[in-house]
Amino acid sequence: MYRIYTAFLLLVIATSGSLLAQESTSLSVGRLIEHDLVTDSKDVFDIELESEMFVFGYVDQISVDVIVTILDPTGKKLRSLDGPGRGPEYFQFNSDDAGTYRIVVTPFEDETGDYSILVEHVDPRATEAQDRVDQLMVRYDRDTSPGVVVAIVEGDEITFQKAYGMANLSHGIPFSTETVTNIGSTSKQFTAMGIMLLANEGKLSPDDDVRIHIPELPDLGHVVTVRNLLTHTTGYREFLNLLSMGGRVLGEGDHIDREELIEIVQRQPELQNEPGAEWNYNNTSFGLLAVIIERISGDSFPNWMAENVFRPAGMNNTMVRAHVGEIIPNSAQGYVPTEEVGVREARDISASMGAGGIYTTVADLAKWMRNYHTADVGGRAVIDAMTTPFVLTSGDTTGYGFGLFIDEVRGLKRFHHGGADTAHRSTFVYYPELESGYIVQSNHSSFDGSIGDEIADAFFGDYMTEEEEDIPDEAPTDFDPESYNPEDFDVFAGRYELEEAPGFILTFSRRDEEFFTQGTGQPEFPIFPTSDSTFVLRVVEASITFHRDSDGKVTSATFHQNGNHLAKRLEDETAAPDLSDFIGRYFSEELETYYDIVLEDSSLVIKHRRLDDIKLDHTKENSFSGGFPIGTVEFERSEDGAVTGLKAGNARTRDVWFDKLN
Tens digit of pLDDT for each residue in 223-243?
999 999 999 999 999 999 999
Cβ neighbors of 605 (< 8 A, separation 6 or more) are 597, 598, 599, 613, 614, 615, 616
Write out 290-342 in H/E/C secondary structure. Answer: HHHHHHHHCCCHHHHHHHHHHCCCCCCCCEECCCCCCCCCCECCEEEEECCCE
Any idea of the CA torsion for 371, 376, 377, 383, to the nearest 10 degrees? Answer: 60
Distance between CA atoms of 102 and 125, rounded to whole angstroms?
A: 18
Give exposure, 283-306, as e/b (b: 16+ Cβ within 10 Å).
Answer: bbbbbbbbbbbbebbeeebbebbb
The pLDDT value recorded for residue 575 is 65
pLDDT surpasses 90 at 355: yes
| Residues 382, 200: Cα–Cα separation, whole Å | 8
Q: H or E stretch including 363?
A: helix 362-374
254 residue type, one letter:
D
- Tell me the CA distances in angstroms from 429 to 253, 419, 528, one per residue in order: 29, 12, 38
Q: For 1-125, CATH number?
A: 2.60.120.380
Report the pLDDT averaged over residues 382-400. 96
**DSSP structural state of residue 175:** P
Residues 6+ apart with CB under 8 A from 599: 579, 580, 583, 605
The domain segmentation of the chain, as residue ranges, is: 1-125, 181-236+271-463, 481-569, 579-660
- Do residues 66 and 105 make contact, with C-beta atoms less than 8 angstroms apart? yes
CB atoms inside a 10 Å sphere around CB 584: 16
The predicted model scores a pTM of 0.86
pLDDT at 15: 38
CA gap 586, 544 in Å, rounded: 39
Number of Cα atoms under 13 Å in the Cβ half of residue 253: 11
CA distance 610 to 625: 20
Tell me the three state secondary structure of residue 423.
coil
Q: Is 253 left (phi over 0), alpha (psi -120 to 50) or beta?
A: left
- CA proximity to 313, closest of 373, 260, 256, 265: 373
Domains 1-125 and 579-660 share a fold: no
**Tens of pLDDT, residues 257-280:** 999 999 999 999 999 999 999 999
State the CB neighbour count (10 A cutoff) for residue 379: 13
Residues 6+ apart with CB under 8 A from 480: none
pLDDT computed for residue 483 by the predictor? 84
Amino acid 480: pLDDT: 82
The CATH code that applies to domain 481-569 is 2.40.128.50
Q: What is the CB neighbour count within 10 angstroms for residue 610?
A: 12
Helix, strand and coil percent figures for the chain, each rounded to 5:
20, 35, 45
Instruction: Give the pLDDT score at 102.
Output: 94
As a whole number of angstroms, the distance between CA 324 and CA 334 comes to 12
β-strands 43-49, 25-26 pairing: parallel
The class that CATH gives domain 181-236+271-463 is: alpha beta
* pLDDT confidence tier of residue 418, bands split at 50, 70 and 90: very high
- Pick from 205, 191, 214, 302: which is nearest to 264 by CA? 214
Highest mean pLDDT, choosing among 5-9, 195-199, 335-339:
195-199
- Asked if residues 417 and 404 have their Cβ atoms less than 8 Å apart, the reply is yes
Helix (H, G, I), strand (E, B) or coil at 614: strand
Report the chain's C-alpha Rg in angstroms. Answer: 26
Q: How confident is the model at residue 14 (pLDDT cuts 50, 70, 90)?
A: very low
- Class of the domain covering 579-660: mainly beta
Q: Residue 41: what pLDDT?
A: 76
Beta strands in 432-549 (DSSP E): 436-442, 494-498, 505-511, 514-519, 524-529, 534-537, 542-548
**Alpha-helical runs (H) found in 75-164:** 129-136
Q: Which stretch of 221-225, 467-471, 635-639 has the lowest confidence by average pLDDT?
A: 467-471
Indicate the DSSP class of residue 130. H
What is the percent of the chain where pLDDT is above 70? Answer: 93
DSSP string covering 183-233, please?
-GGGGHHHHHHHHHHHHHTTS--TTSBHHHHSTTS---SSPPBHHHHHTT-
Tens digit of each residue's pLDDT (9 = 90 or more) over 578-628: 999 999 999 999 999 999 999 999 999 999 999 999 999 888 889 998 888
Winning range, highest mean pLDDT, from 102-106, 251-255, 365-369? 365-369
Other beta carbons within 10 angstroms of residue 192's beta carbon come to 25
- Strands 524-529 and 514-519, by their bridges, are antiparallel
Q: What's residue 123's pLDDT?
A: 95
What integer pLDDT is reported at residue 511 of this predicted model?
A: 87
User: What secondary structure letter does DSSP report for 14?
Assistant: -
